[in-house]
Each structure stands twice: as structure tokens, then as C-alpha cells.
Structure 1
């Protein structure tokens, strides 16, 4: 007697491979793999000289222009936020050597108004790699208009780059030694305070005032920002901090109004001012009243 054979269940077939891969894509994939392998081999054959790296770092951050672009400052809440810029981190990576870093846009969704980004840094010698993936909304926040959607491709690109620079900076710092970073900060701060020793302090103060006047900041605002000290009493540290503020304003990290807020007059000050003006007016003689005639001063017939 023949029995019916049970129906066999088979797993679903795997997804078919792409039918065609362009020659350009295949060449690019092979080139990327070969480039990474070559970079690792070169890094192992020519390891970094830490003493030479420190020497290169000190030479670089003794330059006034680089030291001025190494720090940022902006207001947040009731305090100030200070730190190192992406230019500072990139220069450290260049001097340290055998470090690759980059910022990639993985996906852009114009319908959802966001981009998926990746920032990474890789030490080719120690094989230490740090990366982070994050989403950047296609919006810009301003105090006047609030949340403003970005539609122009150039605005979206600049917004993604600005947001990615902060993550890239942290990835570079994570693969660099802490002592190396701290030494670079000390050299850059010293350069800001004393790097223009060939110019008299009075000339540096005058140049600082001129630079801020071009930004719309008065001398009175600068003196109030320096704890009420007059300009002739500014120290080298004061000038260095003002230079950092000026660079942050030029880069758009902080506005003039945020760093130098206008002084608002209170109601009590207005009342006191009116009272002082009234008291002054009552004490002064009123020239509009007719003068009293003295006897014999009238006209004779």
C-alpha cells in the first residue's frame, strides 16, 4: 500500500545578489580597501616619534594666528562655555601623525528634514578607532525667528558640517593622549598672552579697541566686560581673552548682543532721574517771570 508522502517545507531562498555592479563602483571599492591596507602598513613601517611630534606641536602653536583660532567662547544660560576648536584638534592630529579622521554623511532625508552623519578618528599605529553616528535636523535656531527649516542644499551642507565638526573634534581628542592635548593648550594660551611681545602693550590695546569697533562694540562695553577696568589697565590675559571673544564673534559662535548685552534702565532709575530733574528745576530761578520793579525805576513823564 502506498502512503502519501508528507509535504516537505523548505526555507525561503536568500535575497538575490545585485544583478550588476558597475565597473566604476568595483574599482572604487578595491581602491578604498587597498588605500586602508597601505596606510596601515606605512604606519607600522614608519612609527611616530613622540619627541618630534611634541616639537612640531610646540612650533605650530607658537604661531599667533593658530593660537587665536584654537579656542572658542559663547554664552549658555547664566555662564560661559569655553573650549578648543576643531582647528585645534586637527592641528594636534597632524602633528601627532598616523591618524586618519573624517566626517561622512550616511543618509539624507529631505522629506523628514534630517541627515544621518558619522564622525570618526583612527590611530593607525595602535588601531584605536572612535566613531559616533548622529542625526542632524535640517533646521536653524535663531533668537528672532526661532526654528527655521533649511531647504537650500548649501544651507543644509553648512548646517551638517557645523554640527559634525563638534563630534569630529571629540573623536580626535579620544584617540590622542591627554597629556599631549594639555601641553598644546598651555602653549597656545602662552602664545595668546605673550606671543606679541615685540609690540608694546599700548599698541596691542589700541589694535584690540579698533578690532571691536569694527564689530560694533564700544570702548565702554569693553571696559565693562573687563570687570570695569579701564583700557590702560588691561593685562596680557585680558587682551588674550578679548581676542578669543572677537574670533568667536567672527565665526558666528556668539553674537555681539550676547557677549556685550545692552544695559537696561529700570523703573526705579527712571523715577529717581525725574525726581532729580524736578529738584534741580525748583532750585533754579525761573527767568520767564517778570522782575520786580524797584521804587523810582518807572518811566518819568
Structure 2
């Protein structure tokens, strides 16, 4: 039996493919040349970062929250990562869908970030199943094209966030996080009472009561601080983005002061004369 001959691969590259390959090579070479000719100004990058993190619009989107294994995970978001990459300069990043298999129901994707000046690159290739986890029904297959796109984009954003943060200096990221927290806690010139009233009103539109907010912070509204309200703003933004649900953040409503101070144990009643006599008789019998 004669062995099957391998199928010959085409050796001629199409004109469009050749142009795209040449363009990609030229872009990489140009980026390296520009980075060498215009190196980043670290002092200027820090100044831009300070200015950006003092803007409330960025600070409100700078952190994320989502549930995992019965706990809530939080940290700096991809929105902050992209802004810090812009401030740091000479950084390129992106997310690509390398291959999609609708029969198996998965996409092969890659997230990458590249510091062109130092030639530091971080990339991650990963598989995204076309499924969405649900608590009641388990993994649910996605068939709608928009659902698949949004699922891929969400998974890609998480990897992109880590890729960007891995090439940025840790001190640069930590300073940005601290500044964003200060911006959230500042209040934009409003008093704590004003911010508290606005926060309660916004949460009530979504069905979250004042008692639930007090239980979440473990203190009454009159004792709230700017930092407490900043925490509520992060939770509110995560609720709007669908990172967490109302039931996960506010699982049960606790009412009144009992939510903050445990009720004292009731006093133990004094034994009656008959009970005292029975105890003495039992002790006497046990001793003998």
C-alpha cells in the first residue's frame, strides 16, 4: 500500500498578505526608533499620573469588585491600567482573538503589553469558552454573537489589566492607587452629610435600603466618613458594571441597633428552693 503524499502548501503569498506583513514589520521598527529618539520623561509621567488620578471620573472607575469562592475580590481596574500606560508613555498593548471555533464553542485569545523603550513585553494566550456561569443552572452556552463578543472582551480585559501592570513600575501603580483613593475620599468639596444623602438616594433607586448600607459599613449614617462613602461608590460602580449583584453585596437586611451591637445575654434565673434542695440531695448522693 502506497503511503499518502503530503498536501503541498502554497508558496505564493497574496499581495494583500504581503502588504500587511510589511506594514506590521515597519510599525514595530518605527515604534522602536521613536521610543529611542523620544525617551519618556519620568517626572512628566508622574505629573500626568497625579493629574489624572485627581479626576473623580477616573477615580470612580479605578477599582473593581467581584465575588469568588464566597468572598469579594477587589483591586485596580483595566481602566486605571490603560490610563497609567498612557501616562507612562512608549507603551503599546492590545487584545486579539487568534481563533474562534463555533463547533467546540471557544475562542483562542491573546492579551499583551509592550514597553517599547525598555523592550519589556508581557503576553498571555488563553482559551475562552463560549459559556457564562450561572448560580442556579451552572455554565450556560452562549450562542448569540453579541454575548460571545462581550464574554471574550470581559475575559480579555482581565488579562490585559495584568499584562499592563506587569510592565509598569510597582511604585508607579501603588502611588496611582493611593491618589485615586484620596480622590474618592475627598468628596469634591461636599460635606459628609451631603455625600451620604446622595449615596443613600442612589442606592435606594436600585432597591438597597438605608439599613442595608448601615449594616454594610457596620455603622450608622451619622458616623460615616468620607472613606466609608468612597467604599460605597466603588460598590455602586461595580453593581452598575455587573461585576457583583445586590444579593452578593447585601445578602440580608439587618434592622435597628441590633445590627451593630450584639444583644446582651439574658440574666440566668435564680434556682427555686425546690431546685436547690434537689441539687443538694443529688450532690450528697454523688459524694457517697
Alignment TM class, shorter chain as reference: 0.7 to 0.9
SS at match of 2:93: strand
In structure 2, what is the Cα distance between the partners aligned to 1:87 and 1:149? 28
Aligned to 1:215: 206
**2:139 is equivalent to residue 163 of structure 1:** no
Q: Which runs of 5+ in 2 are unaligned?
A: 255-288
**2:246 is equivalent to residue 233 of structure 1:** no
In structure 1, what is the Cα distance between the partners aligned to 2:194 and 2:136? 38
In structure 2, what is the Cα distance between the partners aligned to 1:77 and 1:239? 26
Q: Which runs of 5+ in 1 are unaligned?
A: 1-11, 265-301
**Out of 103, 123, 126, which is 1:131 matched to?**
123
Aligned residues: 251
1:62/1:195 contact within 8 Å kept: no
Greater shift after overlay, 229-238 or 14-23? 14-23
In structure 1, what is the Cα distance between the partners aligned to 2:156 and 2:109? 7
- Structure 1 runs of 4+ aligned residues shifted over 6 Å read 12-15
Q: TM-score, normalised by structure 2?
A: 0.83
Aligned to 1:83: 75
In structure 2, what is the Cα distance between the partners aligned to 1:263 and 1:66? 31
1:104/1:118 contact within 8 Å kept: yes
**Per-residue displacement from partner, 1:89-132 (whole Å, max 9, x unpaired)?**
10110000000001011111111111111111100000011111
SS at match of 1:163: helix
**Out of 46, 54, 66, which is 1:54 matched to?**
46
**Where does 1:262-281 land on structure 2 (aligned, <5 Å)?**
262-263=252-253
In structure 2, what is the Cα distance between the partners aligned to 1:60 and 1:142? 37
**Out of 160, 177, 181, which is 2:173 matched to?**
181
In structure 1, what is the Cα distance between the partners aligned to 2:8 and 2:28? 29
Residues 50 and 15 of structure 1: is their aligned pair in 2 closer, same or farther, counting only changes over 3 Å? Answer: farther
SS at match of 1:105: strand
Q: CA RMSD in A?
A: 1.8
Aligned to 2:215: 224
Cα deviation, residue 195, structure 1 = 4.3
Aligned to 2:239: 249
Cα deviation, residue 77, structure 1 = 3.1
2:215/2:253 contact within 8 Å kept: no
